[in-house]
């Protein structure tokens, strides 16, 4: 079993380069099969979720060719099956993007029904509502969700709740529908905009992505393109919080600073100095006392739920009481008990964590409950006195490329180990 082991207490300093956005990449890969031409996607993050999505595409007959670690060529002309197996949905929920992509292109698709996941129950009623509004019949049974239509016809869709997944899935189906579709109360996340830009580069006609109302004029077919994935705002935010929690000074490069504004605002409130450049942000927390603040997760441009655990770690080291309110997913505080084992003082009441800052954490053995919470525990370990081991790091590897290498590049004493022998060797080395 692989673990991260680290010795905390060293302020992180230096430069870290951010990879392409996992969540954008997953949607782009699904959308790439919507043409019979070849599509080249660059700046793909080298993470597990991306590999699972590529395998799912190959499984239904698509051709996938890696040109290098971060560039892939996809050809969807040989798709032979319109059914995506539970094996993929179980590993990454985002394989349900293949539903919108296949339905748009072939007017028929079947995907294993996603269940709940580590962070909440995660219904897909809004995706279904959108497909139905476009004229598809949607059936759920035997663990599958099946959608088909004679033809998809543009329509007016109001999303009762802002949903990234539903917006993207509907966007893909609507791109190849007849006539005009309007999606109201659409998600505005950077990766929604990236998917719209990508589809437009394939010949789609989508306007308004990044606002509440997206207008799609359906086209008959899409063509090939070469496209580069946007930088990962959550990976960037994670390193920003790592700099803050360890009182370091880190230049986070290859980012779009605008996408990081909510995280930047909260770190400023916590007392960090932040300098924005065209494609980088520098977070400096050297010799400062971290201040408490209030955080509420909200759809973009609000504070991202995917940054909630990492920011909570920073606030758990601030002098005073902070609150973190989780308004998107109901089960996102599972890391709190693990953090308490490292000395944090946090209490969860309903969807609010009340955090009383402590001077320092103490190293412990903890387990990653999910992807982002796992990253947060690593940050805590890097800020803690002594040695911390983090178990279940397969969650972290789903979404962070070369996490430990990037952290080592900014001075962290961290290693990935897969035996007790290696763990003891690390402990001997650092003690």
Using CB under 6 A, list all residues that contact ligand UD1: 23, 26, 94, 120, 122-127, 161, 163-166, 187, 304-306, 328-329
C-beta of 24 vs 366, nearer to ligand UD1: 24
- In the numeric block, the tokens 């109201």 are attached to 184
The distance of closest approach from Cβ of residue 285 to ligand UD1 in the complex, given in angstroms and rounded to an integer, is: 26
Residue nearest to ligand UD1 (CB): 165
Helix ranges (H only) for 11-158 are 22-32, 48-59, 86-91, 97-106, 125-133
349: Cβ contacts below 8 Å, ≥ 6 apart: none
The distance of closest approach from Cβ of residue 161 to ligand UD1 in the complex, given in angstroms and rounded to an integer, is: 5
Any idea of the CA torsion for 400, 382, 293, 22, to the nearest 10 degrees? 0
| In contact, 406 and 16? CB cutoff 8 Å | yes
Q: Which of 117, 241, 272, 284 is catalytic?
A: 117
C-beta of 164 vs 240, nearer to ligand UD1: 164
C-beta of 17 vs 308, nearer to ligand UD1: 308
The distance of closest approach from Cβ of residue 123 to ligand UD1 in the complex, given in angstroms and rounded to an integer, is: 4
Q: In whole angstroms, give the CA distance from residue 371 to residue 396.
A: 5
C-beta of 304 vs 386, nearer to ligand UD1: 304
The distance of closest approach from Cβ of residue 120 to ligand UD1 in the complex, given in angstroms and rounded to an integer, is: 6
197: Cβ contacts below 8 Å, ≥ 6 apart: 209, 227
Q: Which residues of 68-88 are buried (b: 16+ CB within 10 A; e: fewer)?
A: eebebbbbbeebeebebbeeb
Annotated active-site residue 272? The verdict is no
The distance of closest approach from Cβ of residue 230 to ligand UD1 in the complex, given in angstroms and rounded to an integer, is: 12
C-beta of 99 vs 206, nearer to ligand UD1: 99
Question: Cα separations (Å) of 95 from 24, 28, 84, 110, 330?
Answer: 13, 11, 8, 11, 22
Nearest residue to 145 via CA among 167, 160, 162, 127: 127
Catalytically annotated residues? 117
């Amino acid at each position: 079993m692989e673990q991260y082991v680290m010795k905390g207490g060293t302020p992180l300093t230096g430069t870290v380069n951010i990879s392409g956005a996992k969540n954008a990449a997953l949607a782009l890969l699904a959308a790439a099969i919507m043409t019979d031409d070849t599509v080249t996607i660059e700046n793909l993050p080298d993470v597990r979720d991306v590999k699972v999505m590529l395998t799912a595409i190959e499984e239904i007959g698509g051709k996938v060719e890696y040109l290098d670690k971060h560039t892939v060529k996809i050809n969807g002309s040989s798709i032979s099956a319109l059914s995506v197996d539970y094996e993929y949905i179980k590993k990454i929920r985002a394989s349900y993007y293949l539903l919108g992509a296949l339905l748009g292109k072939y007017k028929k698709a079947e995907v294993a029904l996603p269940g709940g996941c580590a962070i909440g129950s995660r219904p897909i009623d809004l995706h279904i509502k959108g497909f139905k509004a476009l004229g598809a019949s949607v059936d759920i049974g035997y663990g599958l969700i099946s959608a088909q239509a004679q033809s998809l016809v543009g329509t007016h869709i109001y999303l009762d709740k802002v949903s990234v997944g539903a917006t993207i899935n509907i966007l893909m189906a609507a791109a190849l529908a007849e006539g005009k579709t309007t999606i109201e109360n659409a998600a505005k996340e950077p990766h929604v905009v990236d998917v719209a830009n990508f589809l437009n580069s394939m010949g789609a006609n989508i306007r308004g992505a990044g606002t509440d109302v997206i207008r799609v004029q359906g086209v008959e077919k899409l063509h090939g393109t070469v496209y580069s994935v946007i930088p990962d705002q959550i990976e960037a935010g994670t390193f920003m919080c790592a700099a803050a929690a360890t009182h370091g000074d880190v230049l986070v490069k290859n980012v779009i600073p605008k996408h990081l504004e909510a995280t930047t605002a909260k770190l400023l409130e916590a007392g960090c100095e932040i300098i924005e450049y065209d494609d980088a942000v520098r977070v400096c927390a050297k010799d400062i006392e971290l201040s408490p603040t209030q955080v509420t997760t909200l759809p973009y441009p609000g504070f991202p739920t995917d940054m909630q655990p990492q920011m909570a770690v920073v606030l758990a080291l601030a002098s005073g009481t902070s609150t973190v309110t989780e308004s998107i997913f109901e089960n996102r505080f599972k890391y709190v008990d693990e953090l308490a084992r490292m000395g944090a003082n946090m209490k969860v009441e309903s969807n609010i964590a009340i955090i009383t800052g402590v001077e320092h954490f103490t190293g412990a053995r903890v387990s990653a409950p999910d992807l982002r919470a796992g990253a947060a525990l690593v940050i805590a370990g890097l800020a803690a006195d002594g040695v911390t081991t983090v178990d279940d790091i397969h969650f972290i590897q789903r979404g962070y490329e070369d996490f430990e290498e990037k952290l080592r590049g900014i001075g962290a004493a961290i290693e990935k180990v897969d035996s007790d022998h290696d763990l003891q060797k690390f402990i001997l080395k650092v003690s």
